[in-house]
Structure 1
């Protein structure tokens, strides 16, 4: 297996694992933080999680482009590449704006919103994991 393929599969599955931890553990814990402490707590969360997620998202996208450039055209891989766009759009449209609002103050309805809309990314990344494993292994 080509190192780009291995890297792509590995980073995709790292993101799958990470998004499930965020969805099942991290976001539900937001409501347990005292309102007065929440902005500082949430800012720290966003800063630290970005250090982990952002580089991986760029590696995932770059290796997908590289594989497309190399001529990988299996239908499962093409679908998985489209799901990268779903993840990025969901991040830009739902998660990022909601997190920015949550940095200002605790808001239970916004926590519910970010948790609910994060299912888009959770399911898209999970599907990507299976699709790239099938298409590239």
Structure 2
């Protein structure tokens, strides 16, 4: 199995995950009471971490490795998108999730998760598309 195929598998995993988060998981948060959301959210974030962390670190390591060894349209755009995704995740989404866990949600936190997550949904979808193009062209 080539590195490009492994990368495509990781990007496919994220494509599936981000669309499930965008269309099912985040929208479902609005159906919880504040107390129940806080209880469920702690469990949700604990569980989803076992899926998200390996994918994020795999994607980062593979992107850096590919970029380090070859700079072309794919590795440059891929590295830029992965960097944007990490920044969005840790600057916007981690604080939003922490506000739920601390029982101090910002106004309309559930709606903000859904609306702001479109940025990550588009970026992870684009990353998947360029990975497919890269595999096909190689």
- TM-score, structure 1 length as denominator? 0.90
Residue 58 (structure 1) aligns with? 57
Whether the 8 Å contact between 2:66 and 2:75 is mirrored in structure 1 is: no
Task: Tell me which residue corresponds to 2:39.
Answer: 40
Aligned residues: 135
Distance 1:24 1:117, change over 3 A: same
Hey, which bits of structure 1, 4+ residues long, moved more than 3 A?
Answer: none
Q: Deviations over 1:43-67 (max 9, x none)?
A: 1111111110011110011111121
Asked if structure 1 preserves the Cα contact closer than 8 Å seen for 2:63 and 2:78, the reply is no
* Structure 2 equivalent of residue 11 of structure 1: 10
Structure 1 segment 52-91 matched on structure 2, within 5 A: 52-71=51-70, 73-91=71-89
Q: 5 Å matches for 1:85-100?
A: 85-100=83-98
- Partner Cα separation in structure 2 for residue 119 and residue 8 of structure 1: 22
Residue 135 of structure 1 aligns with which residue?
Answer: 134
RMSD between superposed Cα atoms in Å? 1.6
Q: Unpaired runs of 5+ in structure 1?
A: none
Deviation by residue 1:104-133 (Cα, 9 ceiling, x = unmatched): 338560111111111111110000000121
- SS of the aligned residue for 1:37 comes to helix
